Structure 1
Amino acid sequence: MNKIKHPLIRKYTGMTLLEVLLALVILSTAGLAVMNAASGAINNQTYLQDKTFALWIASNSLVELKLQKQWPSETWQEESVDFAGSTWYSRYQSVATGDNNFKALDVEVSDKKDGKALAYLRTYIAKS
């Protein structure tokens, strides 16, 4: 069998317009996914930095309150702290326990006044 080739039919190689458009859609979707992941990582890094600073401030407040060797009040006491170029808001209170010689001491730290606490620590202090 001999194959007869028609002189007007040529075999073109390359991509059609539809294939090019499909490839662009796939690449743009992948690009958007990468951008969303990068944006989420940046936002998460900022949150973790703020949370770490808040925990440091709460820990420092607990140490300062323990060194005062006074029974803290059972109502919330508020104060502001300048740390890492920002103003942080902390508050603390003591909580009665079953033993009159011990009190629980709660500290909360937020980056906004009357905002949600980024850090919360509790320790126990003994009457001296």
Structure 2
Amino acid sequence: MRVRGMTLLEVMVALAIFAVAGLTVVRTVSQQLVGLTLLEEKTIATWVADNRQVEVALRKNWPGLSWTNGKEEMAGQTWYWRWRGVETQDSNFRALDVEVRSEEKAKNPRMSLRTYVSR
């Protein structure tokens, strides 16, 4: 009776295939983690922007045309926000733009929202 096993070349090819598959799985999981982190940041930034919009609405302030800046602690992080009013064609309405950044001097906001308020 003759027993036949795998040759060294066959074993090396199989290991190479498993290594490539393993690297692909690790890369995919890593991309998912990055995506989840960005989604979490955008969600929290949206909450901060919503808070600013609600604050303006509750105070019944007519939003000025210059930026108003501030910061807020949420989810263990400091968020930097700013808002301003924007003229519309109807003098009874004004657009309210809100921007939220995770860093005070960040070039691009994490979240930008626009809503409209009436007199």
**2:94 maps to 1:103:** yes
Per the alignment, residue 86 of structure 1 pairs with 77
1:48-63 matches, within 5 Å, as: 48-63=39-54
* TM-score, normalised relative to structure 1: 0.87
Amino acid at match of 1:82: E
Whole-angstrom distance in 1 between the partners of 2:3 and 2:66: 83
**Which secondary structure does the structure 1 equivalent of 2:73 belong to?**
strand
**2:38 maps to 1:67:** no
Whole-angstrom distance in 2 between the partners of 1:118 and 1:28: 37
**2:100 maps to 1:123:** no
Amino acid at match of 1:27: F
**2:91 maps to 1:77:** no
Unaligned runs of 5+ in 1: 1-9
Work out the percentage of aligned pairs sharing the same amino acid.
Answer: 43
**Whose Rg is larger?**
1
**Which secondary structure does the structure 2 equivalent of 1:62 belong to?**
helix
| RMSD (CA atoms) | 1.3
Amino acid at match of 2:34: N
* TM-score, normalised relative to structure 2: 0.93
**What's the CA shift for 1:11?**
5.2
1:21-32 matches, within 5 Å, as: 21-32=12-23
- Pairs aligned (count): 118
